[in-house]
């Protein structure tokens, strides 16, 4: 199969891509079609490695308004709404919603998802459903599962056991939520436990870290220190880290050295944290997003996630990572020309590092033939015009495309 005339990752000139047996065979400025070879001429469109959702909660997706709407829009009313919805949770219910939302993502060119799944449920219903879905949906989506203790590890009955059970069931990553634990001591011991669990079972780590406007919430320094000392390094991710927005600059200056040494990744969630943070402020009102620009300036890996899609905490979302980048560039004030042009990295190459996809990802000879084509010449244009996905190719097979002007998918 020969795909012709594609601007690969904002290149100045077009290339042709030959795919054989589900892999990129060769990529060059011009490739002669072989006898009988099928050709698709895109006539100068943008090709990117597939988009990646590096932080979402699939188990809560598509539940907004069921059974009640979050009228204040706050995190705490969201938790109340979710506790009512959680009572109705069944495996079939989770599977039906996740199937729908994965198709929404696929239509927007996403091929990899890291989902956090709440394990503060004695039955581990959602975890069981997601582990089955990971296998059932693998032809359209690579799903990575984080055992996520929504109500704490040390502060929830049998929290440690539920975490270990979820990992034994097949979770790919260990989570934690240090800022939600009852005490500073619990916060530190929950992080120690999570890191030891990851080492014991050879798993990645992704912590909901300091997702609060409290400048005294400092789980991050503990997480980064453990990542450094254990050697887990870039196998560790700090998600949200919104308290860093409120830290004083002298502290951040010291912290940044540790963060660089530790090698950990960061995930910011611009849509949801812009909406949920700063709620207790009058004016000035904090934006509550972590220091993305400063982390990048220090060479630290940062990706962007959607976090929630149409659930008690975020009443919107269509599974479009473009919307996430669009908001992220605004609230982080990264609107320079090169910032905008290269911003697809937040939902592709940077996220691939966080998910540890290695050489399974990227448009290069010998790698799996996974890529997307957008109806634009470069990502500046694609972002600004909300360009439709003309094709999402996975393993050499076209799995999805968006229908221009709608939010529907073609399969």
Query: What residues line the site for Fe ion (CB under 5 A)?
Result: 307
Measure Cα distances from 325 to 332, 345, 379 in Å.
Answer: 10, 10, 11
Tell me whether residue 132 is one of the annotated catalytic residues.
Answer: no
Minimum Å gap between C-beta 191 and Fe ion is 17
Of 154 and 307, which CB lies nearer to Fe ion in the complex structure?
307
Of 243 and 372, which CB lies nearer to Fe ion in the complex structure?
243
**What strands lie across the sheet with 302-304, from one edge to the other?**
51-56, 110-118, 142-148, 173-174, 204-209, 236-240, 265-268, 302-304
Minimum Å gap between C-beta 240 and Fe ion is 6
Alpha carbon 123 to its chain centroid, in Å, reads 26
Buried b (16+ CB within 10 A) or exposed e, 148-176: bbbbbbbbbeebbebbbbbbeeebbbbbb
Minimum Å gap between C-beta 116 and Fe ion is 6
For residues 16 and 3, the answer to whether their CB atoms sit within 8 Å is yes
Minimum Å gap between C-beta 18 and Fe ion is 40
For residues 289 and 304, the answer to whether their CB atoms sit within 8 Å is no
Of 309 and 373, which CB lies nearer to Fe ion in the complex structure?
309
Minimum Å gap between C-beta 306 and Fe ion is 9
Of 209 and 393, which CB lies nearer to Fe ion in the complex structure?
209
Assigned token pair, 250: 């002298």
Of 7 and 266, which CB lies nearer to Fe ion in the complex structure?
266
Measure Cα distances from 179 to 78, 119, 160, 243, 315 in Å.
Answer: 17, 17, 17, 10, 24
Residue nearest to Fe ion (CB): 307
For residues 69 and 107, give the distance between their C-alpha atoms in angstroms, rounded to a whole number.
27
For residues 67 and 33, the answer to whether their CB atoms sit within 8 Å is no
Measure Cα distances from 36 to 25, 66, 197 in Å.
Answer: 17, 54, 54
The active-site residue out of 211, 215, 294, 338 is 211
For residues 307 and 314, the answer to whether their CB atoms sit within 8 Å is yes
Annotated active-site positions, please? 211
């Amino acid at each position: 199969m020969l795909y012709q005339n594609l601007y690969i990752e904002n290149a100045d000139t077009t290339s042709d891509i030959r795919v054989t047996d589900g892999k990129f065979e060769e990529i060059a400025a011009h490739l002669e079609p072989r006898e009988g070879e099928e050709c698709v001429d895109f006539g100068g469109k943008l090709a990117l490695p597939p988009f990646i959702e590096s932080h979402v909660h699939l188990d809560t997706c598509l539940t907004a308004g069921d059974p009640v709407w979050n009228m204040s829009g706050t995190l705490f009313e969201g938790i109340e709404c979710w506790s009512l919805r959680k009572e109705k949770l069944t495996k079939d219910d989770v599977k039906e919603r996740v199937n729908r939302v994965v198709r929404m993502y696929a239509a927007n060119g996403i091929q990899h998802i890291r989902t956090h799944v709440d394990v503060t449920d004695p039955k581990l219903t959602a975890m069981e459903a997601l582990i089955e879905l990971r296998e059932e949906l693998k032809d359209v989506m690579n799903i990575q599962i984080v055992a996520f203790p929504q109500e704490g590890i040390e502060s929830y009955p049998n929290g440690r056991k539920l975490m270990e059970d979820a990992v034994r069931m097949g979770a790919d990553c260990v989570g934690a939520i240090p800022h939600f634990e009852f005490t500073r001591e619990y916060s530190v011991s929950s992080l120690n436990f999570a890191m030891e669990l990851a080492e014991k079972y050879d798993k990645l780590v992704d912590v909901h870290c300091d997702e609060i406007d409290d400048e005294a919430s400092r789980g991050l320094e503990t997480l980064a220190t453990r990542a450094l000392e254990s050697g887990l390094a870039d196998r560790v991710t700090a998600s949200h880290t919104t308290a860093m927005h409120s830290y004083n600059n002298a502290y951040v200056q010291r912290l940044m050295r540790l963060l660089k040494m530790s090698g950990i990744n960061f995930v910011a969630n611009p849509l949801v944290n812009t909406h949920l943070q700063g709620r207790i402020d009058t004016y000035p009102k904090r934006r509550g997003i972590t220091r993305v620009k400063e982390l990048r300036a220090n060479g630290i890996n940062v990706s962007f996630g959607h976090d929630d899609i149409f659930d008690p905490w975020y009443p919107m979302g269509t599974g479009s990572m473009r919307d996430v980048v669009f908001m992220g560039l605004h609230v982080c004030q990264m609107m320079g020309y090169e910032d905008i042009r290269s911003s697809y990295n937040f939902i592709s190459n940077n996220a691939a590092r966080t998910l540890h996809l290695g050489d399974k990802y990227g448009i290069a000879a010998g790698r799996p033939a996974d890529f997307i084509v957008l109806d634009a010449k470069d990502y500046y244009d694609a972002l600004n015009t909300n360009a439709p996905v003309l094709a999402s190719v996975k393993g050499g097979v076209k799995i999805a495309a968006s229908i221009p002007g709608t939010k529907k998918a073609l399969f």
